[in-house]
A and B are shown apart, each in its own frame.
Chain A
Amino acid sequence: MKQCWSEGELRAYLDCELPPRDMERVAAHLKTCGMCGYLCADLARRAQRLEAWMQALPEPGLVTCAPRAPHRAPNTRWVGVAAGIAAAAVIGVALWPNAKPKVVVTPPPVARIAPAPPALPAAPPAVKPAIIRPAPRVVPPKPKPQIQYYFALDDEPIETGLIVRVGLNGGQIPADVIVGPDGRARAFRLVSETSGELK
Chain B
Amino acid sequence: MQPEELALSPVQAAAEAGAWFDAMFRDNYPRLVAMLTRLTGDRGQAEEIAAEAFAKLARRSSLFATREEPAAWVYRVATNAGLDALRARARRKRSEAAAGVEQLRTTESGGALEDLIRTERAVRVRAILAALKPREAQLLLLRSSGQSYREIAETLGVQAGSVGTLLARAEREFERRYRARYGDDL
Contact = CB atoms under 8 A, between A and B. Distances in A.
Interface string A33-68: 000000000010011011111111111110111011
Contacts of B125: 53-54, 56-57
A7 B172 CA distance: 12
Interface string B40-68: 01011011101100000000000000000
A57 B47 contact: no
Contacts of A53: 121, 125, 174, 178, 186
A182 interface: no
B41 A57 contact: yes
29 contacts: A7-B165, A11-B167, A11-B168, A12-B149, A12-B164, A15-B149, A15-B167, A17-B149, A43-B168, A47-B171, A49-B175, A50-B144, A52-B186, A53-B121, A53-B125, A54-B38, A54-B140, A56-B118, A58-B122, A59-B34, A59-B38, A60-B46, A63-B29, A63-B33, A63-B34, A63-B37, A64-B30, A65-B29, A68-B47
Contact of B165 (A11, A63, A67): A11
A46 B26 CA distance: 35
A101 interface: no
Closest 9 CB pairs of A and B: A8-B165, A12-B164, A8-B164, A60-B37, A57-B38, A54-B144, A56-B121, A11-B164, A63-B30
Interface of B: 25-26, 29-31, 33-34, 37-39, 41, 43-44, 46-48, 50-51, 118, 121-122, 124-126, 140-141, 143-144, 148-149, 161-168, 171-172, 174-175, 178, 186
A124 interface: no
A172 interface: no
Given A54-B125, A65-B29, A67-B47, 6 more contacts: A12-B163, A46-B168, A50-B171, A58-B118, A60-B43, A64-B30
A8 B148 contact: no
A189 B46 CA distance: 109
Contacts of B124: 56
Contact of A57 (B51, B122, B143, B148): B122
A176 interface: no
A50 to B, nearest CB: 5
Contacts of B39: 57
Nearest to A64: B30
Contacts of B41: 57-58
Nearest to B167: A11
A178 interface: no
A29 to B, nearest CB: 15
Contacts of A67: 29, 47, 50-51
Nearest to A69: B51
Contacts of A59: 34, 37-38
A51 B37 contact: no
Contacts of A55: 144
Contacts of B161: 8
Contact of A17 (B25, B30, B163, B186): B163
Interface in A1-35: 6-12, 15, 17
